[in-house]
Amino acid sequence: MMDDYTFPSWIYLGVLAVFVGGAMKRLLASHLGPAPPLVAWLGATVLAERLWSFCLPAALLLALLGLACCLYSAARTGLARPGAALPARGKAVLVTGRRRPRPLCLGCDSGFGTATAKHLDNLGFEVFATVLDLSGEGARELERSCSPRLTLLQVDITQQQQVHQALLDTKAKVGLKGLWGLVNNAGVCVNFGDIELSLMSNFRGCMEVNFFGTLSITKSFLPLLRQAKGRIITISSPAGDQPFPCLAAYGASKAALNLLVNTLRHELEPWGVKVCTILPSSFKTGQSSNHAYWEQQHKQLLRTLPPALLEEYGEDYLTETKELFHLYASQANTDLSPVTDTIARALLAPRPRARYFAGPGVGLMYFIHSYCPLSLSSRFLQKLFLKKRLAPRALRDPPGFDPDLGLGLNNNNNNNNK
């Protein structure tokens, strides 16, 4: 009779693979010591094997596993309940931003900087907000909508002298208490398109702001952060972990930033400084819906491309990419609260997570990226971001094809010879 309840071997191996894979994934991703997650997951694996040895019915075993997952989820929710949050009063936070006309940044735009500064000010933080122009509309908007606790700093994070001056101004105000939080929000995405069609200056531009600029201001403010045993919150992007089509320059800079942040997390742990990464979904911020800007970028690309390369890809191929980008930007979320709320949660949680997903669909995206075959995850990204229908012109038309005549040049020569 017991044989009636025995699981097929492939189900047994599948569940064990989930347990062991989950253990390894959590161990590698955890910023805690290796012992707690390893012991917990090995214990769960042994428990699953023991239950199997008693030949429990499949329904009962699945119910036990489901109950364990529910208890684990409830425990995590209890740790993050609002009553457990740290007080915001008396804590100083610096929020970086870059108020220069620029394109969609998939989670790193001036819109986040403004919304974050306002939200943190409303919570009671002492906010230091960086702007490029103290007399600009963005700075005046913050002054009108925030409390007198807000301090505006004129900073371009790519200019070390301005970063140093901001450090001196902040240090003079915070004194011995130090800086509780640094929110690395500033970033740019200077173009979109295939790697072969992108200028080297586009890659350098993204790296200069997204990586070197963030590194510069983080290194400069680390003494104040160590003094307060504070937090570093960095707004990154899923494009830094996954190969989004036509976003190689932006994604490469975010990939470098992600590795930098992960390394900082381990190095600053002995100092008591917590380091978190926030990965937002698509939000409508800044210049993301500025069609005039992207039309200008598109025309400039057509002018600068070598004629032979433009012929091989085709102008219609480039135009389709631009239009798909417009469509994607127009459908982005206009409510920035998922990101600002997550930033506040990371700043005030007694035990902040190493990574936060902000916005719908990011968790599913990472699940598919982590656990599904590469071919499936790549196809998912292509369908999610830019649903290209046109292939490059050289792949559509045979060599020597003349679109005006509809005949290959070789055929024309043969006809002429006849």
d(CA 142, CA 121): 10
Q: Residue 128's pLDDT is what?
A: 97
pLDDT value at residue 9? 56
Please report the pLDDT score of residue 411 as a whole number.
Answer: 42
Binned at pLDDT 50, 70 and 90, residue 235 comes out as very high
> What pLDDT score was predicted for residue 389?
85
Find where tokens 């976003």 sit: 247
Residue range 15-47, pLDDT digits in tens: 656 655 665 555 455 444 445 555 555 665 666
Highest mean pLDDT among 98-112, 194-208, 399-413: 194-208
CA 293, chain centre distance (Å): 23
**Inter-CA distances, 116 with 85, 97, 113, 184, 333, Å:** 18, 10, 5, 11, 16
| Topology of the domain comprising 85-286+335-380 | Rossmann fold (3.40.50)
> Is residue 181 packed enough to be buried (19+ CB in 10 Å), middle (13-18) or exposed (0-12)?
buried
pLDDT at 188: 82
- pLDDT, position 62: 59
- Of the pLDDT bands very low, low, confident and very high (cuts 50, 70, 90), residue 376 is confident
Using 50, 70 and 90 to split pLDDT, how confident is the model at 163? Answer: very high
**Contact assessment for residue 342 and residue 279, using Cβ atoms and an 8 Å cutoff:** no
Residue 80, pLDDT score: 42
CA 75-76-77 angle, 5° bins: 90
Report d(CA 357, CA 33) in Å as an integer.
Answer: 23
**pLDDT of the residue at 192:** 81
* pTM score, whole prediction: 0.74
- Whether 78 shows a pLDDT value over 70: the answer reads no
pLDDT above 70 for 244: yes
**Torsion region of 55: left, alpha or beta (phi above 0 gives left; psi -120 to 50 gives alpha):** left
Determine the pLDDT at residue 379.
Answer: 82
In the block, which residue shows the tokens 């994934």?
25
- 3-state helix/strand/coil string of 314-335: CHHHHHHHHHHHHHHHHCCECC
Q: Is 351 helix (H, G, I), strand (E, B) or coil?
A: coil
Q: What is the mean pLDDT of residues 367-395?
A: 84
* pLDDT reported for residue 409: 41
Where are the chain's structural domains?
Answer: 2-79, 85-286+335-380, 289-331+388-418
Among candidate residues 5, 12, 72, 250, the one labeled active-site is 250
pLDDT at 101: 40
Average pLDDT over residues 251-267: 96
CA–CA distance, 250 with 288 (Å, rounded to integer): 14
Using 50, 70 and 90 to split pLDDT, how confident is the model at 328?
confident
What's the whole-number mean pLDDT along residues 200-204?
91
Mean pLDDT, the chain, whole residue set: 79
What does DSSP say about strands 92-95 and 181-184: parallel, antiparallel, or unpaired? parallel
More confident position, 61 or 373: 373
Looking at residue 380, what is its pLDDT? 83
Task: Tell me the pLDDT band of 410, cut-offs 50, 70 and 90.
Answer: very low
pLDDT value for 360:
85
Distance CA 327, CA 123 (A): 35
Percent of the chain surpassing pLDDT 70: 70
What six digits make up the tokens of 271? 């100092």
Distance of CA 399 to the CA centre of its chain: 41
Query: Is 313 annotated in the active site?
Result: no
Going by pLDDT thresholds of 50, 70 and 90, the confidence category of residue 111 is confident
- Cα 177 to Cα 171: distance, rounded to the nearest angstrom: 9
Per-residue confidence (pLDDT) for residue 79, from 0 to 100: 41
Q: What is the pLDDT of residue 33?
A: 46
Note the pLDDT tens digit of each residue in 46-61: 665 555 555 555 555 5
Q: Position of tokens 């920035």? A: 336
Q: Is the pLDDT higher at 102 or at 321? A: 321
The pLDDT of residue 100 is above 60? no
Q: How confident is the model at residue 417 (pLDDT cuts 50, 70, 90)?
A: very low
